[in-house]
Amino acid sequence: MKVRGVDGHRPFEPGGPLVQPIIDSGASFHMTGCRDSLTNIAPCADHSVTMADERVVVGTEAGDLRVTDGSHGVLHDVVYIPTLAHTLASVSILSKNGYKCDFAGDHCTVYGPSIISGHVLEGVYVAPV
């Protein structure tokens, strides 16, 4: 996977401690179970998530998540959900913020200030961090 800015910035090489976001058309907001991947963490209005086993978990903090080299591709208002196993990037929030998501075959491209290209991994679309 590579991430390149619209103006031709260098590709981002995946790595580091961040969690690859799943580009999720069913998520109502960006969320992560990895608090260490967030910066600028602050209290937020309660966000509840119903887990697959019907438990309801509430997030009360949110922060920013870097999805490229830091000059582009920061997801804002990513809610920390302590028991969440993955990081989810909400397609509806991306769209509200002026991004366009294009899904074709095994690839997904998110267009905006940067171009983020992802691929299918274990049945879901993932983006680089």
CA distance 116 to 127: 7
CB 90 within 8 A of CB 32: no
The pLDDT value given to residue 19: 66
Q: Which range, 5-9, 30-34, 51-55, 107-111, is most confident?
A: 30-34
3-121 sits in which CATH class?
A: mainly beta
Confidence of residue 72 (pLDDT cuts 50, 70, 90): low
The pLDDT value given to residue 28: 92
The pLDDT value given to residue 129: 62
Q: Please state the domain extents for the chain.
A: 3-121
Nearest-CA neighbor of 108 among 94, 127, 83? 127
